[in-house]
């Protein structure tokens, strides 16, 4: 009899449809809410994406999973409530939890998602979040637990490259099983819809930081197997479920994968092409959550890295973003793993590094600063100045009503930096109509992987005024104009705990709560750090 290896993961949920993903230990028929799907096969692993359509809007559904007619979920003796979800619109306020960076290596403190589960078990299901937005480093391929290290050591000599990092599709399946296999997390992911986007550690530290970084990796013998395994497994485990059933219908790759005897080679070729030619695939996606629009932007795989024309997104993807990020909603959420706005001193330093690496101070300085930017990760939107400006301009146009009725709020949501803060944003009007939306950047990271103390100190000192003034002066010497966007951190912070953000949208009102994980793994709790009405 077949059994579940991982999942069910409740992924896309719309007004009349829902998507459930599973991994099973063999080929079988998977049934959810009366819909049956055959598994597809990738390199010895079996998965199904069950797409329930024709559901009623605004209704709660409890579900089970049957494999070849036998109940496989909930598991016998499960201490958790039944897995259930509600289709949109919610008929009450919309709740979105968000965060990034969840390591499985031990000694990382209390897991904020464990604390969320602990609270949900005592809540009425109507109080549960509607969406969990995971903003990167869902898995750490290059920072593995002792158990994964032992598994890797049994497969190959870890003294040789690529060393103790997860390498190739098979090892990734093991990493996902470990990261998402704990009973509390399996239950959470079965009952709260998730939207995900990768960051560097899902693939490799500093992934696509610069053209020079990519050239160095491609020169290494282990890299190609690594990047193809990372992207193929990301597509299967994370990306597929980001999409709606309609998008699955249009996704030719999915049809080919379902039809293949073994889609391993097909996905390997796809991943190689996606890496070599980023325009060949779009990882960014859009979801409507009732009257709130979520646009999740890939700020890793689609970068243009040629010096002098660096961009977070290629032109095709910019056009897509400008099409999807519009007014006409109560709230527009722009999710990008890398913060758009960071501490001003870091912003100026990153802008300076980009200009110097492009030759503003000559070739020798370019080589030196290239090493610096790789060493201290100068690679956020600020290190892609033209993209930084363009993302601000897009938000200004939305807020000024040039792209439909202005939303009450435009909120950029990010992770990556292993601390949390909320920034209030003032966009330049530049002679156009005034911006009527409230504009914010909310950053929440990590879920389970706090920053070491020296780096916490560095992040705090990046907020000191003299440091900011110095960095600003440095950027000016490299010819970088000061940013037209102004932002100010509010409500205290930065915070360095394991933490989780929650946005609650109720009509045109939207509130943010930041909470940190406290207590113990056995009895975890969430403690408030910040409550702020954003609109
Ligand atoms: Fe991280």
d(CA 349, CA 464): 14
Summarize the confidence of residues 300-309 as an average pLDDT.
95
DSSP state string for 313-354: S-HHHHHHHHHHS-SSSSEEEEEESS-SS--HHHHHHHHHHH
- Cα distances from 380 to residues 246, 276, 383, 412, in angstroms, run 33, 22, 5, 14
pLDDT (tens digit per residue) in 165-218: 999 999 999 999 999 999 999 999 999 999 999 999 999 999 999 999 999 999
Centroid of ligand 1 to alpha carbon of 246 (angstroms): 32
d(CA 441, CA 382): 14
Tokens describing residue 333: 């959420």
Residue 106 has pLDDT above 80, yes or no: no
Strand bridging mode 29-32 / 409-414: unpaired
pTM over 0.85: yes
Residues 171, 152: contact at Cβ < 8 Å?
yes
Centroid of ligand 1 to alpha carbon of 153 (angstroms): 24
The pLDDT > 90 percentage for the chain reads 97
| pLDDT of the residue at 429 | 82
Residue 342 has pLDDT above 80, yes or no: yes
Please tell me the total count of domains within the chain.
1
Which residue in the block uniquely carries the two structure tokens 């440091």? 467
447 located within any domain: yes
431 located within any domain: yes
Residue 30 has pLDDT above 90, yes or no: yes
Burial 341-359 (b: 16+ CB within 10 A, else e): bbbbbbbbbbbbbbbbbbe
Helices and strands per DSSP (H, E), number in the chain: 15, 23
Length of the chain in residues, anyone?
A: 535
Please choose, from the candidates 45, 456, 24, 465, the residue with its C-alpha nearest in 3D space to the C-alpha of residue 263. 45
pLDDT band at 334 (very low <50, low <70, confident <90, very high): very high
Centroid of ligand 1 to alpha carbon of 136 (angstroms): 7
Tokens describing residue 154: 């049994």
| pLDDT of the residue at 93 | 92
Average pLDDT, the chain: 97
Tokens describing residue 497: 């705990």
Residue 233 has pLDDT above 80, yes or no: yes
Centroid of ligand 1 to alpha carbon of 39 (angstroms): 32
| pLDDT of the residue at 315 | 96
Order across the sheet with 40-42: list the strands. Answer: 4-13, 18-24, 45-52, 40-42
| pLDDT of the residue at 91 | 83
Question: Measured in Å, how far apart are the chain's first and last C-alpha atoms?
Answer: 53
| pLDDT of the residue at 356 | 98
Residue 105 has pLDDT above 80, yes or no: no
170 located within any domain: no
Centroid of ligand 1 to alpha carbon of 408 (angstroms): 31
373 located within any domain: yes
CATH, residue 445: 3.30.750.180
Give residues whose Cβ lies within 5 Å of ion ligand 1: 101, 137
d(CA 506, CA 179): 33
Please choose, from the candidates 298, 332, 322, the residue with its C-alpha nearest in 3D space to the C-alpha of residue 390. 322
pLDDT (tens digit per residue) in 381-420: 999 999 999 999 999 999 999 999 999 999 999 999 999 9
Residues 305, 297: contact at Cβ < 8 Å?
no
210 located within any domain: no
Backbone angles phi, psi at 272, to 5 degrees: -65, -45
454 located within any domain: yes
Centroid of ligand 1 to alpha carbon of 446 (angstroms): 7
Residues 90, 501: contact at Cβ < 8 Å?
no
Centroid of ligand 1 to alpha carbon of 121 (angstroms): 28
d(CA 42, CA 169): 9
Centroid of ligand 1 to alpha carbon of 205 (angstroms): 9
Summarize the confidence of residues 331-351 as an average pLDDT.
98
Backbone angles phi, psi at 235, to 5 degrees: -60, -45
In terms of residue numbers, what domain contains 343? 285-501
d(CA 311, CA 297): 13
pLDDT band at 430 (very low <50, low <70, confident <90, very high): confident
Centroid of ligand 1 to alpha carbon of 194 (angstroms): 18
Centroid of ligand 1 to alpha carbon of 323 (angstroms): 30
pLDDT band at 368 (very low <50, low <70, confident <90, very high): very high
| pLDDT of the residue at 498 | 98
pLDDT (tens digit per residue) in 46-101: 999 999 999 999 999 999 999 999 999 999 999 999 999 999 998 889 999 999 99
Radius of gyration (C-alpha) of the chain in whole angstroms: 22
Classify 361 as helix, strand or coil. Answer: coil
Tokens describing residue 177: 């099983």
d(CA 483, CA 96): 30
Centroid of ligand 1 to alpha carbon of 447 (angstroms): 9
Centroid of ligand 1 to alpha carbon of 14 (angstroms): 29
DSSP state string for 202-220: GT-TTTT--HHHHHHHHTS
Summarize the confidence of residues 421-433 as an average pLDDT.
91
124 located within any domain: no
Order across the sheet with 131-134: list the strands. Answer: 193-196, 131-134, 94-99, 499-506, 509-519, 524-533
348 located within any domain: yes
């Amino acid at each position: 009899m077949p059994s579940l290896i991982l999942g069910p993961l409740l992924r896309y949920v719309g007004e009349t449809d829902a998507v459930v993903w599973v991994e099973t230990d063999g080929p079988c028929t998977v049934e959810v809410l009366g819909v049956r799907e055959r598994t597809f096969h990738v390199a010895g692993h079996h998965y199904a994406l069950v797409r329930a359509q024709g559901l009623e809007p605004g209704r709660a559904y409890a579900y089970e999973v049957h494999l070849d007619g036998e109940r496989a979920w909930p598991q016998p003796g499960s201490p958790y409530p039944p897995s259930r979800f509600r289709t949109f619109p919610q008929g009450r306020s919309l709740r979105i939890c968000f965060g990034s960076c969840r390591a499985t290596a031990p000694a990382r403190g209390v897991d904020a998602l464990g604390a969320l589960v602990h609270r949900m078990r005592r809540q009425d299901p109507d109080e549960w979040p509607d969406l969990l937005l995971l903003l990167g480093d869902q898995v750490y391929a290059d920072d593995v637990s002792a158990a994964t290290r032992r598994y890797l050591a049994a497969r190959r000599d870890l003294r040789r490259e690529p060393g103790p990092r997860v390498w190739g599709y098979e090892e990734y399946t093991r990493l996902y099983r470990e990261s998402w296999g704990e009973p509390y997390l399996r239950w959470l992911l079965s009952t709260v819809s998730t939207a995900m986007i990768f960051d560097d550690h899902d693939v490799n530290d500093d992934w696509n930081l610069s053209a020079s970084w990519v050239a160095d990796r491609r020169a290494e013998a282990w890299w190609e197997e690594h990047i193809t395994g990372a992207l193929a497994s990301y597509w299967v485990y994370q990306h597929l479920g980001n999409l709606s059933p309609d998008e699955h219908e249009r996704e030719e790759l999915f049809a080919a994968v379902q039809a293949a005897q073994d889609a391993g080679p097909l996905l390997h070729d796809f991943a190689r092409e996606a890496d070599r030619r980023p325009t060949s695939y779009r990882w960014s996606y859009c979801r409507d959550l009732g009257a709130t629009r979520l646009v999740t932007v890939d700020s890793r795989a689609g970068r243009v890295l040629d010096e002098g024309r660096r961009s977070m997104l290629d032109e095709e993807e910019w056009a897509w973003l400008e099409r999807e990020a519009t007014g006409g909603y109560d709230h527009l959420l722009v999710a990008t793993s890398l913060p758009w706005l960071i501490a001003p001193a870091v912003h100026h330093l990153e802008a300076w590094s980009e200009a110097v690496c492009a030759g503003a101070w000559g070739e020798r300085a370019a080589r030196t600063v290239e090493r610096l930017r790789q060493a201290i990760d100068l690679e956020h939107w600020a290190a892609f100045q033209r993209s930084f400006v363009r993302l601000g301009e897009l938000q200004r146009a939305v807020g000024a009503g040039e792209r439909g009725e202005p939303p009450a709020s435009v909120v950029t949501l990010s992770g990556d930096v292993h601390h949390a803060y909320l920034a209030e944003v003032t966009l330049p009007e530049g002679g156009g109509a005034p911006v009527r939306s409230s504009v914010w950047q909310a950053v929440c990271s990590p879920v389970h992987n706090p920053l070491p103390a020296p780096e916490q100190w560095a992040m705090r000192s990046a907020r000191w005024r003299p440091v900011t003034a110095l960095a600003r002066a440095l950027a000016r010497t490299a010819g970088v104009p000061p940013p037209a966007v102004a932002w100010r951190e509010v409500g205290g912070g930065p915070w360095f705990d394991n933490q989780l953000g929650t946005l609650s949208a109720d009509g045109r009102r939207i509130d943010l709560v930041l909470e940190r994980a406290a207590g113990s793994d056995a009895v975890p709790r969430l403690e408030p750090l910040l409550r702020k009405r954003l609109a």
